[in-house]
C-alpha cells in the first residue's frame, strides 16, 4: 500500500490485485511512499481489504484537518519524498503489530498457515481474517507468501 501526493492532495493506494494504470497529464507531479507489508492499516485506521484495488483520498480515513495540514507540509517541502517518509514515521506505529510481524516472519521461513496460527495461538480462520485486514488479499496468506518469495 502506498501514500501518494499529487495535485496538492494525499491519496492512498490500496493493495492491488492487478496493474493500476493512471492517465497522467504533462507537468503533473506525483510522489509516493510505500508502507512495509501489513503496516498501512494501523497508520490509516482502515483494514486493507476495504482499500483493495482502490485509490482514495487520505481525508476519507483521517480527519480532514490532519490530512490538509500534511498535504500542505508535503506541497511546501523542497524534498517531498523525505517529507512523506517523515510524515509516515510520525503518524505511523513505532512497531508492527506482533501478529502481523509473526505472519511475515513465518512466510519468510516458509511456514504453513497452521504453523503460524499455532505460533501466535489463534485458529487458522482467525489468522486468515487478520491477514485479509492487514494485507488486503482474499487469499492473503498465499498471496503474501508468493510476494515475499518474488
Give the predicted TM-score (pTM) of the model. 0.74
pLDDT tens column, 33-62: 888 888 888 888 889 999 999 999 998 888
pLDDT tens column, 70-112: 788 777 777 766 666 666 665 555 445 778 888 888 888 888 8
User: How high is the pLDDT of residue 50?
Assistant: 94
CA–CA distance, 75 with 57 (Å, rounded to integer): 15
**Distance from the Cα of residue 84 to its chain's centroid:** 14
User: How high is the pLDDT of residue 141?
Assistant: 65
CA–CA distance, 73 with 18 (Å, rounded to integer): 32
pLDDT tens column, 17-27: 888 888 888 88
pLDDT tens column, 116-147: 999 999 998 998 888 888 888 876 666 666 65
The model's confidence at residue 14, banded by pLDDT at 50, 70 and 90, is very high
Looking at beta carbons, which pairs linking 82-87 to residues 24 or more positions away fall under 8 Å?
A: 84/3, 84/5, 84/31, 84/32, 84/33, 85/33, 87/3
CA neighbor of 31 nearest in space, from 71, 77, 79, 81? 81
Amino acid at each position: 500500500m502506498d501514500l501518494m501526493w499529487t495535485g496538492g492532495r494525499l491519496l492512498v493506494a490500496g493493495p492491488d490485485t492487478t496493474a493500476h494504470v493512471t492517465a497522467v497529464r504533462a507537468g503533473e507531479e506525483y510522489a509516493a511512499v510505500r508502507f512495509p507489508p501489513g503496516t498501512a492499516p494501523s497508520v490509516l485506521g482502515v483494514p486493507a481489504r476495504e482499500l483493495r484495488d482502490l485509490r482514495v483520498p487520505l481525508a476519507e480515513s483521517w480527519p480532514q484537518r490532519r490530512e490538509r495540514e500534511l498535504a500542505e507540509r508535503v506541497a511546501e517541502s523542497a524534498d517531498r519524498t523525505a517529507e512523506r517518509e517523515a510524515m509516515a514515521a510520525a503518524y505511523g506505529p513505532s512497531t508492527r503489530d506482533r501478529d502481523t510481524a509473526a505472519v511475515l516472519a513465518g512466510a519468510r521461513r516458509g511456514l504453513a498457515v497452521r504453523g503460524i496460527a499455532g505460533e501466535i495461538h489463534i485458529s487458522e480462520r482467525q489468522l486468515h481474517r487478520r491477514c485479509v485486514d492487514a494485507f488486503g488479499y482474499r487469499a492473503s496468506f498465499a498471496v503474501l507468501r508468493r510476494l515475499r518469495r518474488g
